[in-house]
Structure 1
C-alpha cells in the first residue's frame, strides 16, 4: 500500500507540523532566537530540522515556549521554568490516566 499523502490543509491543521522558522517563532512569542535555543538546550522543546538544517517549530511547541516565556517574564529562572512545565505536563498525563482508569472501573461494576 502506498504511503498516505498529507494535504497542505492537513499540515496546517496539525499541531505537531513544524511550520514555523526560528525567526517567525521568536517573533510570534515576542522572544529572541536565543530564548528558543535555550529551551532546546534545557530539553523542553526539540525543534525538527528542515532539509537545510534550520530549526522548525510546531504550534504545540510554540504553546510550550509561550508558557516558558510567561514564567521567565514573571522572574522564574529558565531552568526552573522548563522543569515546572515538564512537571505540569507529567501531572496532566497522570491525571488523564487516572480518570481513564476510574472510568473503566466504574463501567465494569
Structure 2
C-alpha cells in the first residue's frame, strides 16, 4: 500500500478511504497486503486530482463512477450502432 500511495501521490489513508467508498477494491496477497491494478492506480490518481481541486472524497468517487458508467454506455452504444450498420459498412461496400 505504501508503494501504491507513493506512485499515486497520495497517502495510504487516502487509498483506504477510496476502498471504503467502494471505488477501488484491491486484491490481497497471501500475506494480506493490498495489491492494486494499474487501472485502480489511475482511478486513485483521478480521485486525488478531484480532491485537490476541492471536491469532497465521496463526491469525487461518485463522479468517477458516473464517468466510468458513461464511458461503458458509449462503448456499448457504438457496438450496437456497428451491428445495425451491418457487414457492408465494415467492409466498405
Q: Same fold (TM over 0.5)?
A: yes
Which residue is equivalent to 2:49? 70
Which residue is equivalent to 2:20? 41
Residue by residue over 1:28-49, the C-alpha shift from the partner in whole angstroms, topping out at 9 and shown as x without a partner, is: 1111000000000000000100
Aligned length: 88
Residue by residue over 1:55-95, the C-alpha shift from the partner in whole angstroms, topping out at 9 and shown as x without a partner, is: 11111110010100000000000000000000000000000
Q: Offset at 1:108?
A: 5.8
Q: Is 2:25 the partner of 1:27?
A: no
User: Normalising to structure 2: TM-score of the pair?
Assistant: 0.91
Runs of 4+ in structure 1 over 2 Å off: none
Q: Is 2:73 the partner of 1:94?
A: yes
CA contact (8 A) 2:26 2:36 kept: yes
The answer to which structure, 1 or 2, has the higher relative contact order (CA under 8 A, 6+ apart) is 1
1:84 & 1:101 partners in 2: Cα distance?
26
User: Normalising to structure 1: TM-score of the pair?
Assistant: 0.78
Q: Is 2:85 the partner of 1:106?
A: yes
CA-atom RMSD in angstroms = 1.1
Gaps of 5+ in 2: 89-93
Instruction: Choose the corresponding residue for 1:79, options 58, 67, 83.
Output: 58
Gaps of 5+ in 1: 1-21
